[in-house]
């Protein structure tokens, strides 16, 4: 139940990619039949991705990852507008590809303001608007959190931003393909998405940039992607992304309904069966497949290892789990303390999961938690305090 | 390649000597909620030997395996022998620890040291190099290796 780190590539997607790893090896820029074949699939995929988010195909730039799309948006949009101002606003819970891009811009002389979130992980539009100044050129607020699943009021922020004011970018990597996403309804100027978040291949992603909005490329090179993202196109990945987008449009309603049911069962079950557990993120306004918790007195990596020994894959935002040994900045920004953040758990449900899987987790998780609590000094302290 | 050695996994999956000793002769607690590991070691001492050792640990797989290994290494040993257990010895016995988890082995050795010191002070025993020395302050950033 760790579909967010990498979702299984659907067989249909794999089928759509295979020809471009084999007989159709042309370069889309080449003016011969082999090139034509590659060009056709790239342009077809561009239309499919545009359709997924309600955009126009010429506005879609293919990238290698959501990280690249976010880097390109933050740095590329800000650097293109530097004569208008050097202030940008991002939320405190953005992905590191946004936060660290903003940090890079700081070193170039930009000023960055961080918009806070509430305890549900929701960004308050009023807080964002408060931070906007006359020299603010870019605001970036994610569409949904990849860690706690909270869906953000992007459209409301867009509506309240001054006209002809800053550009608005949204990182929709966690949401695109998983819930309806419309660039028009969101009112944004740029949007990042990644295929591996909706059963497309890794290495397939895109940045959508509204027509007429200037963007400086991260890489200098040739004319691919209108010169905004030079480098020979990764045709198989793009073909896979297009197919995944097409399937997401076709299956979205059914998929969402299924995941909502499973998620409801998982959340209710964990809160009921595991004492001292809290749901993290917004209770209702969250991505369909996301069930995230903090389980008190125990640490996430140990939980993951024991769950793994039962064949259950999940994720955690604990310090020990991360290579950097830092607790999730998202949970800390939500006001969750270090100790509680250590016990964070994230289950992300996907198309392969069913009720049986959820029942199995609900059977195993309480035992895993109990076992770790039995050896936790924090738990024994708590029990002693309860006894007075 | 798996993150942890087989030995770490064995100790994590079936840790030895978990628990508390209600009438412990020495208790040593060490913890750092920021990097997320806390350990409490309990020792029972008879004739200068660690007759029994138990612990409770809040932390990752490495922290739990380290606690288990430390308890194995010192059970039945004299206090002097137990004090020779170093973090690198613990890591070596566990067939290595990932680089970013080496601090866990420090915590295990430190928690045990604190328990022995606690015993020595309670019983007015001088152990050169332990009771005559201030323990180093716990490093808030110990986890950021």
* Residues whose CB falls within 8 Å of the CB of residue A170, separated by 6 or more in sequence, listed in order: A140, A141, A142, A143, A152, A154, A186, A188, A190, A191, A192
Which conformational region is residue B37 in: left (phi greater than 0), alpha (psi within -120 to 50 degrees), or beta?
beta
Domain boundary among A248, A281, A300: A248
| Model pLDDT for residues A73-118, shown as the tens digit of each residue | 999 999 999 999 999 999 999 999 999 999 999 999 999 999 999 9
At B2, list the tokens. 């798996």
**Burial of A147 from C-beta contacts in 10 A (0-12 / 13-18 / 19+):** buried
The A-side interface with B (CB below 8 A) comprises: 297-302, 305, 309, 318-321, 323-327, 337-339, 342, 374-380
Domains held by chain A: number: 2
The pLDDT, as a whole number, for residue B129 is 76
Rounded-to-10 torsion of CA A238, A242, A247, A250: 170
On whether residue A2 sits in a domain, the answer given is: no
The span from the CA of B11 to the CA of A42, in Å, is 52
**Residues A91, A223 share a domain:** yes
**Contact between chains at B35 and A339 (C-beta distance less than 8 A):** no
Q: A178: Cβ–Cβ under 8 A, 6 or more apart, which residues?
A: A144, A197, A198, A248, A255, A256, A287, A288, A289
> How many percent of chain B have pLDDT more than 90?
57
Q: Is there a single domain that holds both residue A157 and residue A65?
A: yes
Query: What are chain B's domains?
Result: 6-122 (3.90.1010.10)
Q: What percent of chain A has pLDDT over 70?
A: 96
User: Which residues from A are below 8 Å from B63, CB to CB?
Assistant: 299, 302, 320
How far apart, in whole angstroms, are the C-alpha atoms of residue A144 and residue A174? 6
B63 vs B66: CA distance, rounded Å: 5
Residues A140 and A286 grouped into a single domain: no
Is pLDDT above 70 for B141? no
What mean pLDDT comes out for the span A192-198? 95
Active site (catalytic) residues of A? 320
Query: In chain A, pLDDT over 90 holds for what percent of residues?
Result: 79
Tokens encoding B144: 């950021």
Run of H or E including A52: helix A33-53
In a domain, residue A1? The reply is no
Do A110 and A21 fall into the same domain?
A: yes
Phi, psi dihedrals of residue A168, rounded to the nearest 5°: -120, 120
**A334 in the same domain as A228:** no
| CB crowding A71-100: b at 16 or more within 10 Å, else e | bbbbbbbbbbbeebbbbbbbbbbbbebbbe
Domain-terminating residue out of A227, A248, A269? A248
Contact B34 A380 (CB under 8 A): no
Q: CB distance B38–A327 less than 8 Å?
A: no
Q: Which tokens go with A228? A: 């905004």
Report in angstroms the alpha-carbon separations of B128 from B26, B44, B79.
Answer: 17, 20, 12
Catalytic entry in B8, B24, B30, B35: B35
pLDDT reported for residue A21: 87
pLDDT surpassing 70 at residue B139: no
Does residue A290 sit within a domain? yes
Residue A292 counted as domain residue: yes
Q: Can you point out the beta strands (E) in B3-122?
A: 26-32, 37-46, 49-58
* Residue A23: how many other CB atoms lie within 10 Å: 10
Q: DSSP for A255-284?
A: HHHHHHHHHHHHHHHHHHHSTTEEE-S-SS
- pLDDT tens digits, B78-89: 999 999 999 889
Whether residue A70 is contained in a domain is answered as yes
Question: For chain B, how big is the Rg over CA atoms in Å?
Answer: 14
In a shared domain, residues A187 and A268: no
State residue A23's pLDDT score. 73
Mutation for B interface: A297, A302, A373, A382, most B CBs within 10 A: A302
pLDDT at B140 over 70: no
Residues of B with CB under 8 A from a CB of A: 12-13, 15, 18-20, 29, 31, 33-40, 56-64, 100-101, 143-145
How confident is the model over A277-336, as pLDDT tens digits? 999 999 999 999 999 999 999 999 899 999 999 998 888 877 666 666 678 899 999 999
Do residues A243 and A266 both lie within one domain?
Answer: no
Residue B143 reports pLDDT greater than 60: no
The residue range of the domain holding A129 is 11-248
Q: What pLDDT, on the 0 to 100 scale, is given for residue A140? A: 98
Residue among A298, A323, A327 whose CB faces B100 most closely: A323
B48 C-beta neighbours (distance < 10 Å), count: 11
Q: Of A267-271, A292-296, B36-40, which range is least confident?
A: B36-40
State the average pLDDT for chain A.
92
Most confidently modeled of A35-39, B57-61, B65-69?
B65-69
A142 and A291 assigned to the same domain: no
**Confidence at residue B33, expressed as pLDDT on a 0 to 100 scale:** 65
Residues A257 and A140 in one domain: no
pLDDT at A341 > cutoff 60: yes
- Give domain status of residue A3, yes or no: no
* Whether residue A257 is found in the same domain as residue A229: no
Specify the range with the lowest mean pLDDT, choosing from A191-195, B91-95, B138-142.
Answer: B138-142
Domain endpoint, select from A248, A267, A290: A248
Least confidently predicted of A43-57, A172-186, A299-313, B22-36: B22-36
CA–CA min distance B137, chain A (Å): 20
pLDDT given for residue A1 in this prediction = 79
* Residue in B12, B13, B36 closest to A320 by CB: B36
Q: What is the pLDDT of residue A326?
A: 73
Of the candidates A299, A325, A327, the beta carbon closest to that of B58 is on A299
Query: Using CB atoms, which residue from B20, B39, B100 is nearest to A325?
Result: B100
Residues A214 and A350 reside in one and the same domain: no
Distance CA A57, CA A50 (A): 5
**CB–CB contact B144 A326 (8 Å):** yes
Looking at residue B1, its pLDDT comes to 59
Ranking A122-131, A266-275, A340-349 by mean pLDDT, the lowest is: A340-349
Which pLDDT score is estimated for B144? 45
Residue B145 above 60 pLDDT?
A: no
Whether A103 maps to a domain, the answer reads yes
Looking at the DSSP bridge assignments, the partners of residue A62 are A206
What is the reported pLDDT for A315? Answer: 84
Residue A369 in this model has a pLDDT that exceeds 90: yes
Are A241 and A329 contained in the same domain?
Answer: no
> pLDDT of A200-248, one tens digit each?
999 999 999 999 999 999 999 988 888 899 988 899 999 999 999 999 9
In angstroms, what CA-CA distances link A197 with A7, A120, A141, A179? Answer: 6, 22, 18, 11
Catalytic residue, chosen from B104, B107, B109, B130, is: B104
| CB within 8 Å: B37 and A298 | no
**CATH number of the domain enclosing A78:** 3.40.640.10
Which residue among A305, A326, A379 places its CB closest to the CB of B12?
A: A305
> Interface pTM (ipTM) of the complex?
0.86
Interface probe with B: pick from A296, A304, A332, A375, most Cβ of B within 10 Å: A375
**Alpha helices, DSSP H, located in A85-150:** 96-107, 125-131
CATH label of the domain that carries residue A369: 3.90.1150.10
């Amino acid at each position: 139940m760790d579909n967010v780190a990498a979702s299984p590539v659907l067989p249909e997607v794999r089928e759509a990619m295979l020809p471009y790893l084999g007989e159709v090896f042309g370069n889309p820029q080449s003016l011969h039949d082999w090139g034509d074949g590659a060009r056709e699939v790239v342009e077809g995929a561009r239309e499919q991705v545009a359709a997924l988010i309600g955009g126009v195909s010429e506005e879609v730039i293919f990238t290698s990852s959501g990280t690249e799309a976010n880097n390109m948006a933050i740095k590329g949009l800000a650097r293109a507008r530097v004569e208008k101002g050097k202030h940008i606003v991002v939320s405190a819970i953005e992905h590191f590809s946004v936060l660290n891009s903003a940090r890079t811009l700081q070193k170039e002389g930009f000023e960055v303001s961080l918009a806070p979130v509430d305890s549900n992980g929701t960004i308050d539009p009023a807080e964002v608007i408060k931070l906007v100044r006359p020299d603010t050129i870019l605001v970036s607020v994610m569409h949904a959190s990849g860690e706690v699943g909270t869906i953000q009021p992007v459209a409301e922020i867009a509506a309240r931003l001054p006209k002809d004011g800053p550009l608005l970018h949204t990182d929709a990597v966690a949401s695109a393909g998983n819930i309806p996403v419309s660039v028009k309804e969101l009112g944004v100027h740029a949007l990042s998405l990644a295929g591996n978040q909706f059963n497309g291949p890794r290495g397939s992603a895109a940045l959508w940039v509204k027509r007429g909005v200037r963007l400086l490329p991260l890489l200098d090179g040739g004319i691919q992607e209108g010169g905004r993202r030079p480098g020979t196109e990764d045709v198989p990945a793009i073909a896979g992304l297009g197919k995944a987008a097409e399937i997401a449009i076709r299956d979205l309603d059914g998929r969402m309904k299924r995941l909502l049911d499973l998620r409801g069962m998982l959340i209710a079950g964990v809160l009921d069966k595991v004492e001292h557990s809290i749901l993290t993120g917004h209770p209702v306004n969250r991505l369909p497949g996301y069930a995230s918790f903090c389980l008190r007195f125990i640490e996430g990596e140990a939980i993951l290892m024991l769950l793994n020994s039962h064949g259950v894959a999940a994720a955690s935002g604990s310090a020990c789990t991360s290579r950097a040994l830092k607790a999730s900045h998202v949970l800390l920004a939500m006001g969750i303390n270090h100790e509680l953040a250590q016990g964070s758990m994230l289950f992300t449900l996907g198309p392969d999961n069913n009720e049986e899987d959820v029942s199995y987790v609900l059977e195993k998780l309480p035992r895993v938690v109990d076992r770790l609590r039995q050896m936790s000094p924090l738990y024994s302290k708590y029990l002693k305090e309860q006894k007075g | 390649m798996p993150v942890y050695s087989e030995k770490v996994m064995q100790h994590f999956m079936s840790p030895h000597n978990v628990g508390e000793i209600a009438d412990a002769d020495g208790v040593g607690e060490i913890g750092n909620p920021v990097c997320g590991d806390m350990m409490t070691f309990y020792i029972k001492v008879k004739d200068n030997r660690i007759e029994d050792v138990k612990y409770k640990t809040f932390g990752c797989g490495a922290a739990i395996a380290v606690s288990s290994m430390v308890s194995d290494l010192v059970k039945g040993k004299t206090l002097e022998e137990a004090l020779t257990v170093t973090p690198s010895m613990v890591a070596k016995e566990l067939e290595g620890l990932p680089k970013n988890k080496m601090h866990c082995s420090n915590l295990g050795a430190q928690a045990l040291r604190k328990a022995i010191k606690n015993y020595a002070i309670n019983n007015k025993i001088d152990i050169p190099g332990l009771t005559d020395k201030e323990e180093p302050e716990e490093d808030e950033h110990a986890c950021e290796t």
